[in-house]
Amino acid sequence: MNTQLLSIKAKKFGVRLAALRQKKGLTTEVLCLWTGIANEKLQAIEQGDATITLPEIEIVALKLGYSTETLIAGEMQDLISNKPDQAAVQHYAGLRDRVIALILRKTRLEQNLTIESVSANCGLEPNELDQFESGSKPVPLPVLELLCSEYQIPLFSLIPHQPETDSAPSRDVSTTKLFENYPEDIIGFVNNPVNLPYLELARKLSELDAAKLRSIAEGLLEITY
């Protein structure tokens, strides 16, 4: 038995399993709860230090939402090319921080509340709340929940609509023909799942009238400058 070859195959499978698991945003702890395979064994499999049986692969593939064939022989290049663009993710997070900051400040002013009174009620320092409202400091979720409670607005009202599945939507014939007239870089941008938040934001902005768009733009400029 060629143990070196088996070791290479085990390591290749481990790398593929880890990539598919991470693509779903799961830890080995969660996957072990889903599959009944011990966490220590899953970690050893991903490191290529332990082997896995076909029935176990079938269970893991089912829980991860992939075919057994993909888990066994999926192309690693496909996994690498589909990894999120970190720069795009950071850019989106920065944009969302600014939008949330604008909403928080606008809501406070509309309710005629001072930074000092809101800070006191929420256990914050006034300069800290000012940083949150200027967009210079991201708002931690527990603090955001406190502020939403103080302003009596739903936390989920700050969350843009997102698709419930990461699968690409089906297109009808007319939509397909429309995309044929676009450059490849634009088609690639639209088809990349990491860009869905940008497209959703653009859709929401397109539904606003000119006055509301002008108000948002002015608010963002105030935060920026």
Q: Tell me whether residue 122 is in a domain.
A: yes
> Are residue 20 and residue 72 in the same domain, yes or no?
yes
Residues 96 and 119: their CA atoms lie apart, in Å, by 22
Low-confidence ranges of the chain (pLDDT < 50): 1, 162-179, 224
Residues 24 and 134 in one domain: no
Tally of domains within the chain: 2
Q: Decide if 165 is inside a domain.
A: no
Does some domain include residue 111? Answer: yes
* Any domain includes 205: yes
Asked if 126 and 207 sit in the same domain, the reply is yes
Read off the pLDDT of residues 158-185 as tens digits, 9 standing for 90 and up. 876 544 444 444 444 444 444 455 556 6
Dihedrals φ, ψ of 207, to 5°?
-85, -10
Mark whether 59 and 151 lie in a shared domain.
Answer: no
Q: Are residues 121 and 188 in the same domain?
A: yes
Residue-level pLDDT at 44: 93
- Residue 138 has which token pair? 């991201």
CATH number, domain containing residue 141: 1.10.260.40
Judgement on whether residues 77 and 112 belong to the same structural domain of the protein: no
Residue 161 within a domain: no
Residues 58 and 90 occupy one common structural domain: no
- Which of residues 81, 98, 130 is at a domain's end? 81
pLDDT for 162 equals: 45
Residue partners of 72: CB distance under 8 A and separation at least 6: 13, 57
| Structure-token match 């496909």, residue found | 78
In a domain, 167, yes or no: no
90 with 152, same domain? Answer: yes
Q: Is 216 a member of any domain?
A: yes
Is residue 19 within 8 Å of residue 30, measured between CB atoms?
no
Same domain, 51 and 145: no
- What domain range includes position 120? 86-156+173-224
140, 201: one domain: yes
The DSSP annotation for 157-178 comes to GGSPP--S--SPPP--HHHHHH
Say yes or no: 102 and 203 in one domain: yes
Note the pLDDT of residue 213: 62
Tell me: do 119 and 203 sit in the same domain: yes
Mark which of 81, 105, 134 sits at the end of a domain: 81
Choosing from 81, 102, 125, the residue where a domain stops is 81
